[in-house]
Structure 1
Amino acid sequence: MTGPELRVDLNALAANIAVARARVAPAQLMLVVKDDAYGHGLAPIVTRAAAEGVTWFGAFDVREALATRAAVGHDARIFSWLTVGPDQIAAALAAEIDLGVGDAGFLEQIASVARSAGATARVHLKIDTGLHRNGIRPEEWDAILARAASFSAEGLVRVVGVWSHIAEASDAEDDAARAVFDVAIAAAETAGFALEVRHLSASAASFARPEFRYDLARVGAFCYGIRPAGGPGQDELGIRPVAALAATVTRVGDYAVTLGVGSLHGLPSTLATRASVHVSGHRQEILHVSETHTTLAPWEGAVVGAEVWVFGPDGTSATDLAEEIDTVGEEILVRISPLVERTYRGR
């Protein structure tokens, strides 16, 4: 190994997917693949997931949705929710991507592009249940339904779903959000839309609260074995990390051991003096993170060329590091730079 490697265990991914599917059943699982499949590498992840029987994928933007379509073919359903311009809408319609619609203007754009293309867009209308992360305000919901119905009559759109995000901050707040969601669903059905899917929950609520699963559960982090910061552990959830970051010892000194991985590879510099990694059964403090190197407190037996797991199978997880700098495991993983080679087991 000449540089740091992110080693991705696709067998672990398959095992986590099996756990998630069993947990959310009878709802279907949507594997969320935003941010290059949480930094794991999109194509190998979605290819293995499709082989395991996953038929729904959630892509943040059309670029990722198109890459997912190229990898898995046309049997899968792919959902993309970032508001985009006419060119990307046209590309999405050509690739049969389901589009999340969170505002009136985007619905108008989709209908306009569909009219020009002679196509019918599959859309999921998003109700703002209180998180204010995009979404149609409840007081505007009936007007959007009426507009969508007119576009549907023209054959320009087909409303196949209603969806939203929740904060997952407290049961009380999530219950209030679910009540708003249920009202929006009822209104959509009263307006005549035959909904195929209703989806509200992400990883945490999908695992913990059956009433939030509806027809489709959007699970990202847990399928990659990323436990929540301050939440239940991997064993309790039944998942294990899919990715491990390995680096090589490049220098051994009296007061520090240097690894060939740094902030340009994606390690947050704020880990210095606040976090540690497991080495030879002991925790070694991270002393400093420079652009290309990281120094650890020294340990007996350290030799140049030895491999060290920055996070991985020895017990230090991405979330362990994240908790020390008040963030989440997802951030540690999505920061890993393209400079870091991805290698795959189980292809």
Structure 2
Amino acid sequence: MSTRLDIDLDALRKNLAEIAARVAPARHMLVVKDDAYGHGLTTIAQTGWDAGVRWFGSFDVAGGRIVRDALGPDARIFAWMIGSREDARLGVKADLDLGVGDTALLEDAAAVGAQRVHLKIDTGLHRNGIRPEEWPVAVRRAAELERSGAIRVVGVWSHIAEASDAEDDAARAVFDWAVAEAQAAGLAPRMRHLAASAASFARSEFRYDMVRVGAFAYGIHPAGGPDAAALGIRPIATLAAPVTAAEEEFVRIGIGMLDGIPSTLAGRVHVGTPGGPRRLVRIDAAESVVAAWPGAAVGDEVAVYGPGRCGELTATDLAESIDTIGEEIALRVSQAVPRSYLRETAR
């Protein structure tokens, strides 16, 4: 028995079905950035494809190329962090949809003949994007490039903060204005996408043609928001470690800071054990100390987070104890920790 991240692909499929039903008729882009939030890019992408997902958000071109190799020519793959003209060229070669968030990159996209361009308007989050005061000139230039055949603009998109309804409403107003300006310039973007997980579930007016949902697909609920059960999703991952030493008051488990467990969790949370929830007392480099339970023995398994084992917490529950978000807890799990995939046929 060893430390591992168990990933329930059946739970993933059920989450994807829930998302599709919630956001219809908008399409669901499954965001698979950062190695599918640490769950394993190719396996998650293939499972999504088999479940009917046809759009994938890869963040960068390198990830997009991996998804393309895994899924073949029919998947639509959106990469929005384009670092250079060479990056854009590689994206075009892999037939990716490219997010373009500044005017210099627009020229780079035209230079390499990008035919699937999504222009990004900065709606106030300042996570790149063309500023509103520059947008009218930018879309006129994009229309000129499109008429010449250098590019084809297929979408307009943005990020929003999802911090408050008022801020999001203001961002949406900017987005609607930007789409209208693009159309007035002669562009005909067919894919408008603004919402990520939270807004796509809570506010139908933010769904437009497509939503980009990552965290909810993996069962990671928002910090300070409704839990997974309230959202109709379920966590898909359980981080488990074996007991390596057992004493009367404490046991040691084979996972620590080197595996990606934040040391600040010590003394703040419980973990799931065969004897029920027990306090996580200390986190060392390669091991951690947990309060013992009756009959604790070497080889017993402890769940640091994950569903269905002695009431242990979710990744977001852990995150809230140290004022961060569930995605950070998931992404910190070291790539050296083996991923184990549970499929329905193996139940």
Q: Deviations over 1:65-102 (max 9, x none)?
A: 11111111111110010032222211110111001011
- Contact 2:274 / 2:301 at 8 angstroms: preserved in 1? no
Greater displacement, 141-150 / 274-283: 274-283
Report the counterpart of residue 224 of structure 1 in structure 2: 218
Structure 1 CA distance for aligned equivalents of residues 138 and 3 of structure 2: 50
Report the counterpart of residue 244 of structure 1 in structure 2: 238
1:326 partnered with 2:320? no
Greater displacement, 145-154 / 256-265: 145-154
Structure 1 CA distance for aligned equivalents of residues 62 and 82 of structure 2: 12
Report the counterpart of residue 93 of structure 1 in structure 2: 92
1:17 partnered with 2:16? yes
Aligned-partner SS, 2:112: helix
Q: Deviations over 1:204-233 (max 9, x none)?
A: 000000000000011000010011111101
Report the counterpart of residue 40 of structure 2 in structure 1: 41
Structure 2 CA distance for aligned equivalents of residues 334 and 175 of structure 1: 30
Report the counterpart of residue 260 of structure 2 in structure 1: 266
Q: Deviations over 1:20-63 (max 9, x none)?
A: 00000010000000110000000000001001110100011111
1:89 counterpart letter in structure 2? A
Structure 1 CA distance for aligned equivalents of residues 178 and 329 of structure 2: 36
Structure 2 CA distance for aligned equivalents of residues 282 and 323 of structure 1: 21
Structure 2 CA distance for aligned equivalents of residues 284 and 143 of structure 1: 60
2:343 corresponds, among 322, 337, 346, to 346
Q: What displacement does 1:282 show?
A: 3.1
1:294 partnered with 2:293? no
Structure 1 CA distance for aligned equivalents of residues 269 and 227 of structure 2: 19
1:259 counterpart letter in structure 2? I
Structure 1 CA distance for aligned equivalents of residues 267 and 255 of structure 2: 16
1:240 counterpart letter in structure 2? R
Aligned-partner SS, 1:241: coil
Report the counterpart of residue 283 of structure 1 in structure 2: 277
User: What TM-score results when the alignment is normalised by the length of structure 1?
Assistant: 0.96
Structure 2 CA distance for aligned equivalents of residues 133 and 244 of structure 1: 31
1:309 partnered with 2:303? yes
Q: What displacement does 1:321 show?
A: 0.9
> CA RMSD of the aligned region, Å?
1.1
Q: Deviations over 1:275-304 (max 9, x none)?
A: 221223632111111111011112112110
Q: What displacement does 1:113 show?
A: 2.6
Report the counterpart of residue 186 of structure 1 in structure 2: 180
Structure 2 CA distance for aligned equivalents of residues 27 and 103 of structure 1: 26
Q: Alignment identity in percent?
A: 57
Q: Deviations over 1:130-153 (max 9, x none)?
A: 111111111100110111112112
Structure 2 CA distance for aligned equivalents of residues 304 and 280 of structure 1: 12
Greater displacement, 308-317 / 131-140: 308-317
1:82 partnered with 2:81? yes
Greater displacement, 271-280 / 72-81: 271-280
Structure 2 CA distance for aligned equivalents of residues 149 and 339 of structure 1: 47
Q: What displacement does 1:254 show?
A: 2.7
Q: Deviations over 1:179-205 (max 9, x none)?
A: 000000011111111111000000000
Structure 2 CA distance for aligned equivalents of residues 19 and 257 of structure 1: 39
Equivalent residues in 2 for 1:61-210 (5 A)? 61-114=60-113, 120-210=114-204
Report the counterpart of residue 253 of structure 1 in structure 2: 247
Structure 2 CA distance for aligned equivalents of residues 263 and 69 of structure 1: 34
2:324 counterpart letter in structure 1? T
Mark the runs of 5 or more structure 2 residues left unpaired by the alignment: none
Aligned-partner SS, 1:179: helix
Q: What displacement does 1:234 show?
A: 1.3
- Contact 2:275 / 2:293 at 8 angstroms: preserved in 1? no
Structure 2 CA distance for aligned equivalents of residues 177 and 342 of structure 1: 38
Mark the runs of 5 or more structure 1 residues left unpaired by the alignment: 115-119
Q: What displacement does 1:255 show?
A: 3.0
Q: Deviations over 1:157-193 (max 9, x none)?
A: 1110000000001001100000000000011111111
Structure 2 CA distance for aligned equivalents of residues 166 and 140 of structure 1: 19
Report the counterpart of residue 117 of structure 1 in structure 2: none
Structure 2 CA distance for aligned equivalents of residues 62 and 83 of structure 1: 7
Aligned-partner SS, 1:81: strand
